[in-house]
Every structure is written in structure tokens, then in C-alpha cells.
Amino acid sequence: MSRFILLVLLVAIEASHHNDSIEIQPRRRFNSRGNLLKYLVSIRTREKIYNWGDNHFCSGALLTSRWVMTAAGCVTTSAGSVRRRTSRRNLIVVVYTPYRLRKPLDRNRIPVENVVYSNEQKICCQDLVLIKLTRPVSGNKNHVLRLPVREISDDWLCYSIGWGRMDLLPM
């Protein structure tokens, strides 16, 4: 078993100890702003390009107070067929910011300590990356992603959240 999968499991165990497990109900309706956006983080370069928030390039999910999960494509670049890893020194994670074009509080802008990549090519987690923050997220511990207590079935209604590109819209 790869070290990456073990790290994902350890982070998941840590998350489950920090949160009361919830039982997700199939087809349950809820206010997405109140329930989903609190886990959403914005992954950005350290400096804005022209306007505040235009340096956002990817979203992630807050797993624990120090760990974020995102897609590997968010922090790698593809040069031909060889992926090159992005320098963590150029990354910052912004938490508790449903409006990515508004300047967040300084305490909600957290530099990246480490980016953990999976080296496995033939497993489920090859497109996942874990990002370790330099310090824990301050605030409500309930903003850390809760893991379901039972397996997800095919009839469950699932949501995906994030920010889309805004190239054609005014900033």
C-alpha cells in the first residue's frame, strides 16, 4: 500500500476524531451555502495578477484544520507527457471565503507547508493531492469535512461545488 493512501487514511482518522460523524441521508435537501461552502477553500498563487481574487486557480476541501484535499491537476503542470510539480512556496490557501473576489481576513490566508503527491499510477487516488497548511485554520472546528458513517449508494444525491472561470465576465 502506498504512503499516500496511508496518509489519506491517517488524515481521515484525524478528521473523524475532531468531528462527530454524521449520517448522510439520501435525497436530503439543504442550504448549500450553509452546509457545503464551509468546507470549500480557494487555492491561489501568493500574489494577485490584476485584481483581488484573480489569482485563484483551483478549489479544495478542508479535511482537517491543517489538511486540504484537491485534484493533482491543480498543483502540477503538464509539459508534454511529464507532470512537473508546482512549488509550494508560490501557493496559498484561502479559507471561509464563499466570495472569492472579496479580500478575506489575513488570518484566513494560509501559506502551504507541504504538498503530498501520490506516486501510484493504477489506483483510485492517483489524481488526488493533500496540501498541508503551515498553521491550523482558526475558527469553528465544524468547518472541517465530516466523513459519512456508511457507504454512499447509487441513489444518493451528491453535490459538487467550486468556482468556475470568469474570463469573459468583468472582475
Scanning the structure block, which residue is given the C-alpha cell 496511508?
Answer: 6
Q: Are 100 and 94 in contact (CB under 8 A)?
A: yes
Domains and CATH numbers, the chain: 3-20+28-143 (2.40.10.10)
Average pLDDT of the segment spanning 31-46: 71
Instruction: Using the structure block, give the residue that is written with the C-alpha cell 493533482.
Output: 72
Residue 58's nearest CA partner among 100, 110, 12 is: 100
CA pair distance 97, 79, nearest whole angstrom = 32
Summarised one tens digit per residue, pLDDT across range 85-127 is 556 678 889 888 777 778 888 888 999 998 887 766 555 556 7
Instruction: Calculate ∠ Cα 146-42-57, nearest 5°.
Output: 135
Parallel/antiparallel/unpaired status of strands 67-71 and 56-62: antiparallel
Mean per-residue pLDDT over the chain, rounded: 70
Q: What is the pTM of this model?
A: 0.68
